[in-house]
Amino acid sequence: MRAARFHEHGGPEVLTVDEVDDPDPDHGQVLVDVEAAAVNPVDTYFREGEYPVPHLPFVGGSDVAGTVAAVGDGVEHFAVGDRVFGTGLGNGMPGSYAERVAAPADFLAHLPEGVAFDDAAALALVGTTAWQGLVHHAAAEPAETVLVHGGSGGVGHVAIQLAETMGARVHATASPDHADELESLGADAVFDYAREDLADAVVDAGGADVIVDLHMDQYLQFNADVANAGARVIGIGNDTSSGGFTDIGVTKGKEVRYQFMSMYNADDIGAVLARLADLAVRDEIAPVIHETYGLGEIGEAQRAVLEDSFVGKLVVTP
């Protein structure tokens, strides 16, 4: 089969498409014929060496959607021919940038016929992340105000839809170029992230009860300043090195709770995916696919996911 691998750490140019043996599913694993995979910023962190991989060469890719080709011992809930989607791959195990992947059954869910493979792949990681943040950690409630930083990104644009579906009032920060599209996804207000009076504008709009922060390096103090009493701040971004608190007292005065999280720590990824599939088949959540790439274009896709400005996700089809 064909698989996109990196033989050394580095930029997108280290990715190559190689002919490799098909994987065999171990106990508790499912072999999936890959119809679509998604491109996430976290995939680039493994390629660059910022996050560890168990060996080189290595196949990256977190998300998968496809059809079950075989099941390993101990797998009871999936059968050959089932449509499935999943996430959590590429972290300590080979990923989904390949024609076939062996995935832990616990990382998969059944995919309804009404949801396309590319949509499922685009939804898996970002949907699980948004769910863990808003439902599991923040326990967001109807009529609360949710602020999503980076609303145009993969997690951000799904978090907007999930919060709106939960009955929350949703605000987002993003480029003005994306405001109309984010409002069509469910945002009640979109604030230009570059405006000098951003904090005042958010406070004037009612502040925030829940904040989904995809840019922790920029907004730690900002979040405390705009948070309402008892607010929950969910930190998902990768970097906190270039920013911090200048007045931590405000967090104590408002009893603000900060929760830094990773999708990989979810207790039951499959259960979350099953719920997301139900929302998707009912059109409550619909990931936006900005562009689709072939397997041989994975280097360009990984460059674009970090450098280009767009709403939604990038998808790879082997």
Record the tokens describing residue 128, joined without a space: 């699980």
234 and 305 together in one domain? no
80 and 194 together in one domain? no
- For 136-183, write each residue's pLDDT tens digit: 999 999 999 999 999 999 999 999 999 999 999 999 999 999 999 999
Contacts of 106 (CB under 8 A, 6+ apart): 28, 268, 269, 270
106 and 136 together in one domain? no
Q: How many CB atoms lie within 10 A of CB 179?
A: 18
CATH number, domain containing residue 144? 3.40.50.720
pLDDT, position 7: 98
155 and 229 together in one domain? yes
- Establish if 30 belongs to a structural domain: yes
41 and 146 together in one domain? no
- Establish if 278 belongs to a structural domain: no
- Establish if 275 belongs to a structural domain: no
Compare 123 and 239 and report the one with higher pLDDT.
123
- Establish if 280 belongs to a structural domain: no
146 and 35 together in one domain? no
Contacts of 264 (CB under 8 A, 6+ apart): 88, 91
Max CA separation in the chain (angstroms): 59
CATH number, domain containing residue 45? 3.90.180.10
- Establish if 101 belongs to a structural domain: yes
24 and 91 together in one domain? yes
Q: What is the DSSP letter of 62?
A: S
- Establish if 48 belongs to a structural domain: yes
140 and 246 together in one domain? yes
257 and 310 together in one domain? no
Total domains, the chain: 2
133 and 86 together in one domain? no
- Establish if 40 belongs to a structural domain: yes
- For 261-281, write each residue's pLDDT tens digit: 999 999 999 999 999 999 999
- Establish if 273 belongs to a structural domain: no
Is it the case that residue 240 has pLDDT exceeding 70? no
- For 177-207, write each residue's pLDDT tens digit: 999 999 999 999 999 999 999 999 999 999 9
Q: How many CB atoms lie within 10 A of CB 247?
A: 10
The proportion of the chain whose per-residue pLDDT surpasses 90, expressed as a percent, equals 92
Range of the domain at 307: 2-111+288-317
